[in-house]
Chains A and B, each alone.
Chain A
């Protein structure tokens, strides 16, 4: 790796379903550049290199390259991953398919689970058994294992997940299975459950291994392809992937445990929010990221994102560290409909990216939240969304017209109602995460990012003293220093739920006493009470972290000349049925300490912020908008 010379670039790229975003930090002038190019689904690495070009980022000058992606999630959703098999303990081939046998929908007697990633015919058993202490009750049957490996090879299976009972205590049999597979089924890639998590709960551990195995060939292929292209462009810096649990992992590590990339996309935004929390002295933040089909809400506590070890992706559990993110089906594309009882409803169905909201003019005729926001005047027809997409007000209105007729209301009033209902759902989701973690929403500021975000932020969060401000993308990650974080999961004897407590390397009597006190306090915060029961250790975790030098975030300029002037004016629908003129500003024109007084609309590349009468915003040092909501 070359020395961090003046003029070096740090790059961050997020490959989403529709767009590939790039942020470039140029050390020579301290500037940040942001660009957006279309994602190239057939060969996403092409889009990444296109983004480099669009941002005039010469790969040869890049010192760090941090990469997040939601792209391979589509493979999971479409069940288009690798041809995968499960190998498990004799008597337990169905553990994975049965799962926890529960369901979310309460009243559907015809309920079917979502399709499994693998059919039952690709679940295999090996005679072997350990007890919970890791003692061998039944020896590993090598001959049976070889027979299974031959079958796997014969079936042309691409990827194998191995999970034996109690392997988290003693992985000896999983390791033996891997050795046999390497010889007898050399074309198959192998994931061992204990290498991803050393915790009990066989279904969740198997599911983690299956997710890993299922996306492994795809992710390895993609990372290799990208590395090749970067090499062609004379990239000599370090290449990191954003991991679901925060932080970044080297491309090599990502190849070995791709399951850690499943929430890579959403994690990038939350990590950016965490560094922003530190930079702006707002240690506690609620983050919301609203996209086309869904909204992700997350928490920053004390400047750090909240990490959990029992995450899931669309109902598929994964026992790897993941940021705590609550996803609800409310996005710009959520569909508007009238139920049989004559009430207006929003979602959970979505118009998706194609055809998308009616106003996109891509053939969609169903009304969505985006259409409603356009009719209300929150979005405009005068500026393009994401650079190129112009909205059509007439299409939005005609899509909403049938609902308006059914309700006997004006199109404007229905549009306003759609926005109100969407906000009500979002507020519920945000309250849920803070309450579940034992916090009060009022102790948090609100950080909104994602396309549709500003619409909701200024609307309803007055009770939470929300401050809608711009998010920053994750930065680059060099590795100069190392730190170790040791965590111990404790619980009251016989209970299920545990609490993670940081622990010193050396556990002596004093440390034990401190742990006890800390556990009782943490349990009281998280669960509302402490018990006098004995405490037991569930899991010990160590996290090794490479610390990075973070570049100074560039401050926005101070206004020297001219007043801030609106680019245009727009009429915005009000609750009482009237329309009011709102000044429309472009965010690029803001300088440090500018005050924007509502009624106003702030437009930008990727998002829109609405300030109603009585609201005002101040531009912070880093260009963030600090909104004070008084009206609403």
Chain B
């Protein structure tokens, strides 16, 4: 007898709790802060075919990518070769759907000698001998991006495979922490394995299998119900990747055509044909995963992630192109993927301007700083992602200063912690006034942070979408773009995007992050909202007049009603 829908929900809660337990165990045992502070991970429980049935919030695009990785690895290894107690390590970018450092570990789960499910865990590892420490911005093929594990058994029958651990040990600049994190991934998968086996013991393997099928069927029904409510049609949009990392002046087009029918959403990337010379290419699996992020947000944002949610989604890419990298194309800088969700919403905005928000600041705005401590000579490295503004929408303003749509769980770094750990002084950190796109609803403002180096240091700016502005909807206006200023407020200040930069003690760098695009005509914005923005300092007196047609006394900050009437006429 197949389980009724109530039992399916009870089993679902058990599976979600299992994934949650995996993530807590991972955070508890991982060695690197990027996992347990920034939550840069993807954890899931999958059915016997690799389709996710439960996950936990981490990096939003990872869980879909885990499905893809498991399926490719099982195909490569052969399903029949998997044994109870095995764990598989995969970081071959074209299969694992991320760069080499975002390594996937997964474990087949057996019950009564039968493969019933998979547990997966992906984290950002610290070092696998990629060409540069920390990050790679300018590789030209895969061989420069670190050591590759093409679905190898890191555990065999429950025992660690020391040969593989030794390969990592001799091929990492930080072997102890890298191995520690891989062990944490394995432990997380084993937690998932035990919990799923307990559920199978309680309900039986066959009912559990049927429940997992129903979880995905149910996820599909939810998505179809949401699709049915959406406007139907075909829309295209274009945005640009700043550069390929090699030729920094050449922008790379990213074009999408989205079609919505009663039963499907087709996202066609085949107009994005050319590959890039530098590492901004992305494997197809990541293109699909980032497309899924947009689809999920559009259709079923409030229900748990299941593979079934995405059955009505079709993603088209061209092999060998920017969005379907093939060996040995360089893929290390995954930043192209950050643009994907919002190029899709840009297309959708033409057909459903009331249902999607305008563009956000559009990037995770990361500056990685490194150097040697002046007193001890010890190497230090700090990476700080900064928040952007969200796009405005038909019902309200975009949020001010919030992490990009692709990294919901990520957090900024405390200034007091940073200054204690690194020879850096933060001069200021706060909202970036006037950066939100004006509109009847205003785009959220970005932030500004100024670093002063107290010793010679390097700053790797991993900051894209600096050359196109966050797009708006209707008569709304675009937000300000991301930009990074070297030596701000001096006569040799310079605006840059992704780049390596070297500094002496006393020199500065300023990170200004993008604001969201506006929605609707700013001249129709409620006067009270404009005045509140002026009084809070999100909009300057000058911009209130120029963009919103609202005259404000620059001293008292009071509304000039007559001036406003004539401006808004």
Contacts and interface: CB of A to CB of B under 8 A. Distances in A.
Interface of A: 91-95, 97-98, 100-113, 119-121, 131-132, 137, 165-166, 168, 200-204, 339-345, 407, 409, 413-414, 416-417, 420-421, 424-425, 427-428, 431-432, 435-436, 438, 463, 494-497, 526-529, 531-532
- 3 tightest Cβ-Cβ pairs between the two chains A and B: A428-B17, A528-B29, A417-B6
Contacts of B76: none
Contacts of B31: 529, 531
B414 to A, nearest CB: 4
A106 B57 contact: yes
A102 B538 CA distance: 20
A529 B180 contact: yes
B421 A494 contact: yes
A529 B390 contact: no
B430 A343 contact: no
Given A436-B28, A438-B28, A200 B416 contact: yes
Contact of A432 (B17, B218, B411, B538): B17
Nearest to B306: A341
Nearest to B405: A109
Interface in B473-524: none
B24 A98 contact: no
B564 to A, nearest CB: 21
Interface in B289-330: 293, 296-297, 300-303
A341 B221 contact: yes
17 contacts: A91-B427, A92-B429, A101-B402, A102-B409, A106-B57, A109-B391, A111-B390, A340-B225, A416-B6, A420-B6, A427-B17, A435-B21, A463-B198, A494-B421, A495-B33, A529-B180, A531-B176
Nearest to A413: B6
B431 A94 contact: yes
A481 B163 CA distance: 60
Contacts of A496: 33, 36-37, 417
B491 to A, nearest CB: 22
B401 interface: yes
Give the bracket for the number of chain B residues in contact with chain A.
35 or more
A421 B28 contact: no
A341 B6 CA distance: 12
A119 B10 contact: no
B414 A432 contact: no
B256 to A, nearest CB: 17
Contact of B399 (A106, A111, A407, A529): A111
B554 interface: no
A201 B413 CA distance: 9
Contacts of B198: 463
B184 A528 contact: yes
B431 A98 contact: yes
A407 B13 contact: no
B409 to A, nearest CB: 6
Given A92-B430, A494-B421, A112 B411 contact: no
Nearest to B399: A112
A92 B420 CA distance: 17
Nearest to B57: A106
Nearest to B421: A494
B283 interface: no
B166 interface: no
A106 B403 CA distance: 11
A110 B360 CA distance: 10
B60 A100 contact: no
Given A202-B416, A417-B4, 8 more contacts: A100-B411, A102-B410, A106-B57, A107-B408, A109-B360, A340-B222, A435-B28, A438-B28
A464 to B, nearest CB: 12
Contact of A109 (B390, B416, B421, B535): B390
B6 A132 contact: no
B9 interface: yes
Contacts of B218: 341-343
Contacts of B16: 428
Given A92-B430, A94-B430, A531-B176, A104 B24 contact: no
Interface string B105-130: 00000000000000000000000000
Given A94-B430, A131-B425, A529-B31, A102 B390 contact: no
A421 to B, nearest CB: 5
Contacts of B411: 100-102
A166 B25 contact: no
Contact of B176 (A168, A526, A532): A532
Nearest to B36: A497
B260 interface: no
Nearest to A429: B17
B419 A132 contact: yes
B416 A342 contact: no
A416 B425 CA distance: 60
Interface string B165-196: 00000000000100010011001000100000
B357 interface: yes
A528 B396 CA distance: 45
Contacts of B303: 339, 341
Contacts of B360: 109
A512 to B, nearest CB: 21
A527 B181 CA distance: 12
Given A340-B221, A341-B219, A107 B60 contact: yes
A202 B430 CA distance: 13
Contacts of B415: 92, 95, 165, 202
A104 B356 contact: no
A438 B183 CA distance: 16
Given A343-B218, A432-B20, A432-B24, A201 B536 contact: no
Interface string B378-412: 00000000110011010110110111010011111
A102 B537 contact: no
Contact of B10 (A168, A407, A421, A436): A421
Nearest to A100: B411
A374 B62 CA distance: 43
B458 to A, nearest CB: 18
Contacts of B345: 109
Given A203-B414, A496-B37, A109 B29 contact: no
B390 A110 contact: yes
Contacts of A166: 416, 419
B447 interface: yes
Nearest to B60: A106
B428 interface: yes
A203 B401 CA distance: 14
A427 B21 CA distance: 12
Contacts of B300: 107
Contact of B5 (A98, A407, A427): A407
Contacts of A204: 414
A431 B226 CA distance: 34
Contact of B393 (A110, A131, A137, A495): A110
B14 interface: yes
